Copies of this chain bind each other. A is one copy, B any other.
């Protein structure tokens, strides 16, 4: 971009950053027009224009004579909150825990084609299979079955798998997770799955088939994960111009 953005758009970005820092503080007071005017060195009119756009987007709310305030809990742009069960459970005020059911290194040759199709044949031919049960306040919520490319988890041990895999990769391996593709289906739990999730056999669940990426074209894992239907729900917003947050899963209230 050769030409600089107009001031009010730059301001908009900065205010949005500021807003993100205040995420969750629903109803809290935001900066006033006059504060912004002074702090950023722009006119009140420009400050108002930038604020006004944020109001139009539903992030803020004007209250005449009082100030501008955060509307609903600011949208979570944090990927961790989107993909990490640990984070989501804590956000819902529940204590997350994990029961490791299975953990083994397999040769790619012994894996059925569907898995490899999503991961691309790994050159070293090793894949890591992880089956975990995720619990919130002791209640089973998620049955996770995941294949991970072996070369991205050297020296992985069973103890490492008791917490957030998201944290594991971003912190220990310092491999930033770029995103995940999900296909969400509604299925009836089979006997074995129901038993593990401590739910009635045949009860409804989400089956989330998902590929996780390190970089846009570098797959890291492929998973087939069951979410108890009575404990989980997804939220989504369809619209042309909303600050399009992707669909987010959350523990049902």
Chain A residues near B (Cβ < 8 Å)? 6, 8, 45, 48-49, 52-53, 56-58, 64, 75-79, 82-83, 178-188, 202-206, 213, 216-217, 227, 229, 232-242, 244-247, 252
Residue of B79, B182, B205 near A240 (CB, 8 A) is B79
CA A229 – CA B188 in complex, angstroms? 9
A247 touches B236 (CB 8 A): yes
Nearest CB of B to A76, in Å: 7
Question: Which listed residue, B56, B236, B246, touches A239 by the CB 8 Å rule?
Answer: B246
Find A180's partner among B204, B237, B246 (CB 8 Å cutoff).
B237
B203 touches A188 (CB 8 A): yes
Residue of B nearest to A62 (CB): B6
Q: Which residues of B contact A242 (CB under 8 A)?
A: 179, 244, 246
A234-B247 in contact given A49-B49, A188-B204, A204-B188 (Cβ < 8 Å): yes
Determine the main DSSP class of A at the interface with B: mixed
Tell whether A79 pairs with B238 under 8 Å between CB atoms, given A56-B57, A205-B186, A229-B185.
Answer: yes
Closest to A203 in B: B188
The chain B residue with its CB closest to the CB of A241 is B58
Q: Which of B204, B217, B237, B246 contacts A181 (CB 8 A)?
A: B237
Q: How far is the CB of A208 from chain B (nearest CB, A)?
A: 9
CA distance A78 to B213 in the complex (A): 26
A224 to chain B: closest CB distance in Å? 13
Contacts of A233 in B (CB 8 A): 183-185
**Interchain CA distance A229-B187 in the complex, whole Å:** 6
Q: Which residues of B contact A181 (CB under 8 A)?
A: 235-238
B244 engages A244 (CB within 8 Å): yes
- Report yes or no: B240 in contact with A76, Cβ–Cβ below 8 A: yes
A34–chain B nearest beta-carbon distance, Å: 16
Minimum CB–CB distance from A15 to chain B (whole Å) comes to 13
Q: Which residue of B lies closest to A234 (CB)?
A: B184
Q: Is the CB of A179 within 8 A of B237?
A: yes
Which of A179, A217, A238 is packed against the most chain B CB atoms within 10 Å? A238
The winner among A58, A186, A203 for most chain B CB atoms within 10 A is: A186
Residue of B6, B56, B203 near A241 (CB, 8 A) is B56
- Bound complex: CA A57 to CA B179 (Å): 12
